[in-house]
Amino acid sequence: MDDAHIEGDLTRVLYSAEDVARRVTEIAAEIDEAYRGKDLLLIGVLNGAVMVMADLSRAMKIHCEMDWMAISSYGSGTQSSGVVRILKDLNTDISGRHVLVVEDIIDTGLTLSYLISNLRSREPASLEIMTMFRKPEAQKNMVKVKYVGFDIPNEFVVGYGLDYAGHYRNLTSVGTLSPHVYS
Ligand code: XMP
Ligand code: MG
């Protein structure tokens, strides 16, 4: 990894910081419209959704609360482990609440379908999903996503909360990693 310039490790920038900000603002306006006058609880999925949660919530003009869950899906590499485990549960009782799950990325959708059925059993008034990025595999899955930032190709991407082995989350743009980083 190049310690000086993390953006130098990208082979291709898919979305600049400006592209991301513009799309987040658009979605925030849709959420404002949909949840006006409702008691909205945003649930961020740690760690990847930290950036989108921070930007999306501040682009919104309506009241909301925030809570966080941490679940394990990937190990430190780029392959899904298939194992889903709750590492940190909510602090909030969501029964009767209007819940919007805020995700960084949906790949196979395995992680999310587990999370959604878990949350549904707690009987929220409504349960919807916002994800900043979605890969083609996710379409096969039965999880209905209400708000999608960008549909992206089936490539491993980093930046804007997305990591490779814990790095690159603080990159403001989103792109694909140069192969030299993996080796
Ligand atoms: P599934 O396949 O269950 O996976 O939808 C969702 C989780 O996998 C991680 N993921 C990625 N992380 N770049 C990343 O940094 C990617 O391209 C990528 N694809 C999947 C991520 O943690 C997500 O929540
Ligand atoms: Mg990750």
What pLDDT is stored for residue 2 in this prediction? Answer: 45
Is the CB of residue 103 less than 8 Å from the CB of residue 138? no
**pLDDT tens-place string over residues 107-134:** 988 888 889 999 999 999 999 999 999 9
Q: How far is the CA of 105 from the centre of ligand 1 (A)?
A: 6
Q: Which of 32, 89, 107, 163 is catalytic?
A: 107
Choose the weakest-confidence range: 2-6, 17-21, 67-71: 2-6
Is the pLDDT at 18 greater than 60, yes or no? yes
**What residue owns the CA closest to ligand 1's atom 21?**
105
Architecture in CATH for domain 18-152: 3-Layer(aba) Sandwich (3.40)
The conformational region for residue 2 under phi > 0 = left, psi -120 to 50 = alpha, else beta, is beta
Domain ranges of the chain: 18-152
ipTM of the complex model = 0.92
Can you tell me the distance from the alpha carbon of 22 to that of 25, in angstroms, rounded to the nearest whole number?
A: 5
- Residue 114, SS3? helix
Q: The whole model's pTM is what?
A: 0.91
- Structure tokens given for 86: 């709750």
* Virtual torsion, Cα 148, 104, 127, 136, nearest 10 deg: 50
Give the mean model confidence (pLDDT) for residues 40-60: 97
